[in-house]
Amino acid sequence: MKSKFLIIALVSAVALIGLSACSDNSAVNESAATESGGVNETKVALDVAAVGEEAVVVAPALATQICGTESTPTAPTENYGFVEGEERIVVDNGYKRKATMWMRCALGQKWDSQNKTCTGEPKLFAWHEVHQLAAKYNEEEFGGLGQWRVPFLPELMTLRETNCSNPAMNIEVFAGAPAVFFWSSMPAVDDLTKSEFSKDEAYGTDFVSGGFRREKISKLGAVRLMHDGAEGAAWQSPFVNKEP
């Protein structure tokens, strides 16, 4: 019961984050993305490459970012730093719990140290697949660290640059960031009053516009892993990387 109330509290926090971060520019972009379903599927074809017996779906090619000039940046470059000697990890010093760390590239992309950007396109996963993705990186201790995980929705939304779209991210820090839908680790809530969770839908963030929404768990989305840093998790819940 306690864990259910924690999830509900997170959902409420997400709603507040969404309201406080909205601007006229992002609202227009979010509306347009909602009408088109995020990525315009009539213009973008997904490539499917066979790998062994499994099919790996990769996201559409990167698009041109559009940023407004009237609003103050919500994810300014000065909020971020990097692990010494490890360009693949971003340290978020602007978040409520300092030194939260993020993989600079979405899963499936690779960091190009010469050109200082993520290359390739991210792999896309159904929601039920994302809970096992961190295990590989924890086993090999990516960047010298274990305990990588899929972020909660409020954590994922801290990466949004609401003054920009396509992608709605700081691409100076997250160079090569794709404008696609990213999964969080949180199942959708069907009824707040009854603490009921959806078995068919989960939350994610659309980095085309920066808006968050619930989607069918069969939808394919990208994943960016995070690490809690030295100060520990900002959001405590047993639902991290666990299915409902």
64-115 residue pLDDT tens: 899 988 788 999 999 999 888 899 999 998 766 668 899 999 999 999 999 9
Supply the pTM of this predicted model: 0.73
Q: What integer is the mean pLDDT of 10-29?
A: 42
Give the pairing type, strands 164-165 and 181-191. unpaired
pLDDT of residue 242: 42
* Gap between the Cα atoms of 165 and 128, Å rounded: 28
| 223 compared with 21, residue with greater pLDDT | 223
- What pLDDT digit, counting tens, does each position of 153-207 carry? 999 999 999 999 999 999 999 999 999 999 999 999 887 776 788 999 999 999 9
